[in-house]
Amino acid sequence: MKTIARSLGSLVAGALFLLAGCDTVYTTHTKIGGPEFPPSDPAKVEILREEPTQPHVRLGDVRAEPSSEEVDAKEIEEALREEAAKIGADAAVVVYDDVTPIEERVILAIAIKYQ
């Protein structure tokens, strides 16, 4: 009985250790009215810091919230790519990246489709 309890305790402790070490980025998107597009390949979605000069249409907004300060820029950009790809975007233009007193860090981007 003690062996089972110890094993179970070790298993629970190990699971908590793994969960504590997992940083994530929570993402959501909001589509605006207009044409619908099939999902795009996240690997091909560009992350831009300013609006491109080539013609494009706005598909919607993408919001990313890292779970902690430990999440690096690469993980955040990957999360933005995946969320923007869901609505068929070719790129996500980051328009806001700041730390708020209530929500911690928030990144907002505009999902666009090139014409």
Question: Residue 44 belongs to a domain with what CATH number?
Answer: 3.30.110.70
Would the pTM count as exceeding 0.85? Answer: no
Of residues 49 and 13, the one with the higher pLDDT is: 49
Q: Is residue 12 part of a domain?
A: no
Task: State which residues form the domain around 59.
Answer: 23-114
**Residue 56's pLDDT band (boundaries 50, 70, 90)?**
very high
1-23 burial by CB neighbour count: b if 16+ within 10 A, else e?
A: eeeeeeeeeeeeeeeeeeeeeee
Q: What percent of the chain has pLDDT over 90?
A: 71
Of residues 53 and 34, the one with the higher pLDDT is: 53
Q: Is residue 17 part of a domain?
A: no
What's residue 103's pLDDT? 67
Residue 68 phi/psi, 5-degree rounding, is -160, 175
Q: Is residue 6 part of a domain?
A: no
Of residues 54 and 33, the one with the higher pLDDT is: 54
Q: Is residue 18 part of a domain?
A: no
Q: Is residue 81 part of a domain?
A: yes
Kindly report, residue by residue over 58-72, the tens digit of the pLDDT: 999 999 999 998 999
Helix (H) or strand (E) holding 78: helix 73-85
Q: Is residue 16 part of a domain?
A: no
What's residue 101's pLDDT? 82
Q: Is residue 36 part of a domain?
A: yes
What's residue 3's pLDDT? 42
What are the tokens at 111? 């999902």
CB 43 within 8 Å of CB 81: yes
Q: How many structural domains is the chain composed of?
A: 1
